[in-house]
Chain A
Amino acid sequence: MGGRDTTLVLLDENGIRCDGRKVDEPRRIMIKAGGLKNADGSAYIEFGDNKILVGVFGPRDVHPKHMSNTDTGILRVRYHMEPFSVTERKNPAPSRREIEISKVIKEALEPAVMLDKFPRTAVDVFIEVLQADGGTRCAALSAASVALADAGIPMRDMVAACAAGKAADTIILDVNNEEDQAGQADMPIGYMPSLEKITLLQLDGVLTPAEYKKCVETGIHGCKIVYELQKKALTEKYFGNGEK
């Protein structure tokens, strides 16, 4: 991102990345639907070395009351990182970064959730990052969609998310922490594959218009991979062994 000088080889002569992946290969992804007893819906995701837990409550009464809307339900999202989730201990108070990520995840989920069916209520999504390793917002968004579905909240589609980016002058899928720090660009994408709508899109780093197009295409390709795993997680919970 900052183009920091490092001796790390991001892409070797055989087109293999610093963690052994190919340019278009995502990290290992494991999604589990459910798992929490008290939450109305929950999900756990491991996305490379990211470990994220999501709990959903609602539709339920809104506190404070003045936040409620008589026309529609409201969605509230809190993205929070544990102090032990990163190398240097993180102050547990919400940072400006966490507040911004909470907002972009909320806005990424809103097009998918049919909130108008539940006026005067709130759906609360609590995202807890237990371990962070680059790309937490995408992993969190993917898990949050599964948790919302697990809570039985009507949805138009699930939002799948994956980042694309640029390192060693090459467009790559699923940027890891090292590539984020030393690479040239990071573009997180949230996508509703059935509705073909992009609901989360950010970028830092420099891309030519042609690279920009390729980066969006690559990210959408990653979202489609995640989407299959999201569906599989739900199928496994509700139909057992992945059979319908």
Chain B
Amino acid sequence: MTSTSVIDELKKSQILELLEQGKRIDGRALDEPRKLMIEINAIPKANGSARVRLGDSEVVCGVKIQPDRPFPDMGDKGIFICTAELLPLSHPSVETGPPGPDVIELARVVDRGIRESHMIDLSQLVIAKNKSVVGVFADNVVVDYDGNLFDACAYAATAAILSSKTPKWEMKDDVPTLVEGGESSVPVTTIPVSVTMGKIGNYIIVDPNGDEWDSMDARITITTDSNGNICALQKGGTGGFTFDEVIKCGEISVKVGSKIREKLKQVKEGGQ
């Protein structure tokens, strides 16, 4: 998604020079994420949806909820699957065709953050044990790119799930049958927030924009839950982190995450 785009070497050195003075290229503080705008129920045909703009990265997430067969070893749990895709209109370098390693990693990291936080109480999504369960599918599409899709997709998926209404099914003649008027909110136990940090030189920056993303030596995405615990993490990029940096990133993710969680909470409260 980004490794192929050529960034002006001058811009790269400018980003580093500014960081040495404690500044960023777009004027933000080092631990300041970009402006987050969340529009929920943007796609009324979905069971829940969100259109999220993080700076100039924009993601649309739709949640579809439908009966499905459970996984063989998880007959007493509903299904949750989260995907992410880069649309060709999001950036000139994006081509159609099967997803590359970058996009596969993106989708898996976003899925893992929500899954490992146990955001959705899957034990409540069983229609008939071992036979039929409710599947929650959150599909992200990236429509505009300016760095840090990890967080943009995670916020879109989280907001879409919070806004979702699940229909109700009952088994009739061994077939899950829709119960009219049985809609309810998706059972949510916690609100996961992912915070992605980039490392440029020895500086850690929160929510790197597109230019910063292309200049980073390494990155780290940490997801925290409503209790301030860390529930998923992924390091990426060709550089390394020291022990102290990894601990510091954990602290930043808890602090920055709690502010973003407040914003996501409004989605839930506004939607009910």
- Tell me if A243 is interfacial: C-beta within 8 Å of chain B: no
If A107-B238, A198-B235, A207-B230 touch, does A220 touch B116 (CB 8 Å cutoff)?
no
Q: Taking chain A's interface residues, is the majority helix, strand, or loop, or is none over half, making it mixed?
A: mixed
Name which residue of chain A comes closest to B100, CB basis. Answer: A99
Task: With both chains docked as a complex, state the minimum distance between the C-beta of B185 and any C-beta of chain A, in angstroms.
Answer: 23
Interface string of A52-66 (1 = CB under 8 A from B): 000000000000000
Q: How many residues in B have their beta carbons less than 8 Å from beta carbons of A?
A: 36
Query: Which of A100, A192, A204 is the one whose CB lies under 8 Å from B104?
Result: A100
Contact A111 B238 (CB under 8 A): yes
Query: Which of A3, A203, A220 is the one whose CB lies under 8 Å from B230?
Result: A203
Task: With both chains docked as a complex, state the minimum distance between the C-beta of B106 and any C-beta of chain A, in angstroms.
Answer: 10
Cα distance, A107 to B108, chains bound together (Å): 16
Contact A99 B101 (CB under 8 A): yes
Contact A96 B254 (CB under 8 A): no
Q: How many residues in A have their beta carbons less than 8 Å from beta carbons of B?
A: 36
- Tell me if B201 is interfacial: C-beta within 8 Å of chain A: no
* Other 14 A-B pairs with CB < 8 A, given A102-B101, A107-B235, A198-B241: A99-B101, A104-B235, A195-B240, A196-B243, A197-B241, A201-B220, A202-B233, A203-B230, A203-B234, A204-B231, A208-B228, A208-B229, A209-B228, A220-B243
Cα distance, A209 to B254, chains bound together (Å): 9
Greatest chain B CB density within 10 A among A4, A197, A206, A220 is at A206
Name 20 A/B residue pairs within 8 A (Cβ), A-sorted. A3-B118, A96-B104, A100-B108, A104-B105, A107-B235, A195-B240, A197-B242, A198-B240, A198-B246, A201-B241, A204-B112, A204-B231, A204-B232, A206-B118, A206-B229, A207-B229, A209-B229, A209-B230, A209-B250, A216-B243
Query: Which of A103, A200, A207, A212 is the one whose CB lies under 8 Å from B101?
Result: A103
If A107-B237, A111-B238, A216-B246 touch, does A206 touch B101 (CB 8 Å cutoff)?
no
- Tell me if B10 is interfacial: C-beta within 8 Å of chain A: no
Binding site for A on B (CB under 8 A): 73-74, 101-102, 104-105, 107-108, 112, 115-118, 220, 225, 228-243, 246-247, 250-251, 254
Residues on B with C-beta less than 8 A from A203 are 116, 230-234
- Tell me if A39 is interfacial: C-beta within 8 Å of chain B: no
Task: With both chains docked as a complex, state the minimum distance between the C-beta of A32 and any C-beta of chain B, in angstroms.
Answer: 27
If A187-B233, A209-B251, A216-B246 touch, does A111 touch B240 (CB 8 Å cutoff)?
yes
Cα distance, A96 to B229, chains bound together (Å): 28
Contact B254 A199 (CB under 8 A): no
